Structure 1
C-alpha cells in the first residue's frame, strides 16, 4: 500500500424511578423509541424489549452464547456464536430513514431471519458502506452480506477468501477491500499464526498492494474518512485514495506506558476521532490527522467495558471493575465524572466470564448486570440510575436499536409512503414541486446560512463508477427519451470529482481529497439566480473563503433545489477561485449526500426525484 502521513420469559420492572427520557414522545408526528436486545451468558437465546415499555418482550432462540452487533443504522441485530460456528440475524423492527432536516421512523415487531450463516468460528463483524462483513477465523474467509437486503429479511452474501485462516477482519474501503494478513505458518510454540498487518485486495482476494505492517493487528473501527486498527507499534490508519488505500502508522508516543497496545477501537460518527483501550487500566483518544495523535486516560481500576455516545461524540463511558461508571470527555482526554452503578466485577479469570456490558440508548446508558439478572438504566448526564429491568438467566452482551423520527399517518405528511421494495425505491416529496423543478418568483428567494449545509457529506461519484447508481439511470430512462448510456454519460461528467468527503461545522468547511483534509473558514457572499436553456431557474448560494489552507477553494457555490432557508438533504457544488466564472459552469456539479446514508438509501432518494 502507498504510505504517506495523513495529518420471552417473565419480566418485572423494579420499583425504581422510570425517568421521562425513556418514554416515546407523544407528539403525533414525533416518536423516540429504543429497543434493547440482550444475549444470555449461558443459554442460547436473545431477549428483546422496548425501553419505554419493557413488558413488550420477544425471545429468539440461537445455538449458543451470542455476541450482539447492531448494524445498518440499527435495523438489524447480528448474533455471533463463535463457539457454535453460527450467526443469526434479527430484524429489530425499527427503521430510520434520514431526509436531511428530519428522519422518518417505522416501527414493527422484531423478527428473526430464518436463514443462519454457519462456518468455522465467526468472530469480528464490520458494518460499513452498505455491507455487513463477518470474519470466519478458522475458515480463512469473510462472508459479505448486503445490508439493504438484510433489512428486508433476506440474506444475499458473497465470500472473500483470505490467504490463510486467522483471527482477523475484512473491510470495504473505496473500490477495494482491506484484509488482515497472517504468517504462512504458526511460529514455533504459538497456537495461531502471527498477524502481520493489513493488505488491499480485490473482491476475489487478489492482492492490490504490499502488506502494511501492523504487528499483532487486532481491533478496528471507522470514523470519518479513516479505518483504524490497533498494532503492537501503534495505530494504523487507512483512507481511500485515488491510487488505492493510503496508510499511516501513528506510533505510540514515548509518554504512554510502555509494553502496552491497543486491541479494541471505537469510531465516532459525528466527528473524526477514535477511542481505544490501552492496557488494563487505560484508554487512548486517537486523532488520525492532527497532533498530538494520542491522549492517554488512566483509569482508577481495570476496565470492564466502554462505549462512545453516537448522539454526542464528545463523550464516552467506561465501566471499571469496582462497579463505577465514568464519563469520558473525549475532547479534553480526561474523566469528567464518575458514579457507582453496580457491585464490583473482578477482571481476574477468563475473558469471557459474565461481566456487565454497556450500550447507548439516546439519553440513557443501558447496562447488563449478569450476577443480578438485570438490565440497569442510567441517565448519561448525571450517571444516575433511572430503574432496572429484570431479565431471566444471566444477561450479558447487549445491543440497542432505535432513535427519533416522524411517524406519518395517511395524508398528513409530505411523504407518499415508505414501502420499500427490493430495489429500495420510495416516493419522497422535496417541498414545493414547482420550486424543486426551478419555477418560482423572485420574491420567494431568501438568503441562506452555511448552517443549512452543516454535516458530514459523501460524494456520490464513486457509486456512479462502481455501478451502484445504474438503477437510477434505468429509472430515468423509463421516464424520458434519453437512453441509459446517454444519461449515465451526462452524470459521469456532472458528478465527477476527487473530493470524496466534505464536512461543514460552523463556518468551517473541510475538503477530503485522497484522505487529506483542506480547511477553510467561509462567509456568505450573496446569491445568484441563473436561468437555464429550458426556461427554469436555479439559485446559487455563494460563500467566500476568509482564511484557511491554500488547497481550499476561494469560492463555494451551493445548489440544492431550495431557494430559502431550509436544511439541505443533498446538494450540488461548484468551487474555484473565480466567482464569476463559476456561474458559467453548468456541466460539472459534484453532488453530496449525508455520509450516514447507505448506497441503497442514496439510490432510493435519487429515484424519488
Structure 2
C-alpha cells in the first residue's frame, strides 16, 4: 500500500429541526437488493445492451430471452428475487425476469434515478421532480397488474438524489437543488405531512447510499462521508480538501463500509485507485491506496463471502480486499486487461455478487462470466450477440 490515512469523526449530531412537507400520492399507470421479501419466484440475470436486455439463466448463463428497449437503460434489482427496475425515458419500468417480459408496470418519472431496497421496502427516486416513491418490496408477489400506488415524498427542489426507508419508518433523503446538493434529512410521516427529525448540511455533492450493520447508513460527500445512525448524523472529513466518495459498498453483517475515493477533481477519466474504509461502529474513516496497477470504476466493487470486498481491476483480476485490515489478500484472473471508459455510460467490465458467486461482464469479448469467489474459479462463460453494459442480479 502506498498510503493509509485514518481520521476520526469530525462532526456530531445535528439537532432536529421542524419542517412540514406535503406528501404527494404515488403516480399510477400502466442493482440486487439483499432483502428477499418478495415473490419467492425464480429470478435471473439481466444484462443491458444498446437497444435491449438479455435475460440469462444464473446456473448456465444461457440466454433465455432478449427484450427490446431504449438505446441506454440502467438496471436495478427490485429486491424481490425476480423483478428488475429498468430506467427508461418514461420512468421505472418493471422487468419480470422469471417470465421473462418487460411488463406494462411503469412508475412515471421525468428522470428516473436511484433504486434502493432495504428491510422490505423498495424506494424509487425521480431526479427530475425530487419525488420519492416508497413501495413494499413484495408488491408484485401476485403478479404485475396495474401500477401499484405507494407512499411518496417530494423534495423542496429537484436534484440528483436518493432516499431510503429504515425499519422504524424513518425516511432518509438527500437535500439539494438543480445546482448543488448539501446534505440529508431524516423524516417521519405524520398524517398528511412529513416532519424533519434531524438534518445535516455539511455534505457537499452528496451522492450514493449504503446501509451497514445495525442500520448504519452512509452517504458519500465531496469532502468525506455522512453517517446516519440511531437518530443522529455524523460527518467524517476526508484527509484531502477534495476527497469524493460517490458509492458505498456494504454488507448488512459488517459495520465497515467500503467506498470509492477520488481526490483530484480535475482528473480525466473514471478510473480510481484508492478506497475509503468507514467503520460505522468505531466511527473511523480511512483512505487506503490500492497496489500499483489496481484501478477500477463504480461498477467494479462488490461485497461477497466473509464480508470481504471484491474489486474487478483493469489488470483483469478480481482483487480481494479485507475491509478490517485494508490489505489486498488475494487476486485471481477473470477477464483480459481493459482500459477505463471515456464516458461513464460506455460499456466496461462490471461485477455483481450473489452469495459466493460473482457475475462479471467483459464487453471487449461480448461475454459474461460466472466466478466462484471462494476459489477464484471461472465456472461458466457465455458469449452474447451484443455488447453487455449494465447488469442486475435478481435471484430469489
Contiguous gaps of at least 5 residues in structure 1: 6-32, 94-108, 184-191, 404-609
User: Alignment partner for residue 128 of structure 1, among 118, 121, 143?
Assistant: 118
1:342 correspondence with 2:352: no
Could you report, residue by residue, the CA deviation over 1:336-395 in whole angstroms, capped at 9, with x for unpaired residues?
Answer: 122333233322511211101111133332111122111022231343333311222111
TM-score by length of 2: 0.78
* Mapping of residues 195-594 of structure 1, within 5 Å: 195-203=181-189, 206-209=194-197, 211-213=199-201, 214-224=203-213, 225-240=215-230, 245-252=231-238, 254=239, 259-279=242-262, 280-294=272-286, 296-299=288-291, 300-304=293-297, 305-313=299-307, 315-347=308-340, 349-402=342-395
Q: Tell me: CA distance 1:85–1:301, structure 2 relative to 1, closer, same or farther (3 Å).
A: farther
CA RMSD of aligned residues (A): 2.7
Name the SS for the 2:138 alignment partner. Answer: helix
Which residue is equivalent to 1:106?
none
Q: What SS does the corresponding residue of 2:54 show, helix, strand or coil?
A: strand
**TM-score with structure 1 setting the length:** 0.52
1:143 to 133, 146, 154: 133
More helix by share: 1
Match of 2:37 in 1: none
Deviation per CA, 1:110-140: give whole Å up to 9, x if none.
Answer: 4543211222111111112322111111122
Residue matched to 1:549: none
| Aligned match of 2:67 | 60
Counterpart residue number, 2:45: 36
Can you list the C-alpha shifts for 1:250-271, whole angstroms capped at 9, x where unaligned? Answer: 223x4xx553221100220222
Indicate how the Cα distance of structure 1 residues 273 and 153 shifts in structure 2: closer, same or farther if over 3 A, else same.
farther
1 or 2 for the larger relative contact order (CA 8 Å, sep ≥6)?
2
**Whole-angstrom CA distance in 1 between matches of 2:232 and 2:225:** 14
Distance in 1, matches of 2:306 and 2:103, equals: 32
Structure 2: gaps spanning 5 or more residues: 1-10, 16-41, 263-271
Aligned pairs, number: 341
Alignment match, 1:87: 92
Distance (whole Å) between structure 2 residues aligned to residue 146 and residue 68 of structure 1: 19
The CA distance in 2 between the partners of 1:65 and 1:157, in whole Å, is: 27
Contact 2:130–2:161 (CA<8 Å) still a contact in 1?
no
Larger Rg: 1
CA distance in 2, matches of 1:385, 1:248: 41
Counterpart position of 1:160: 153
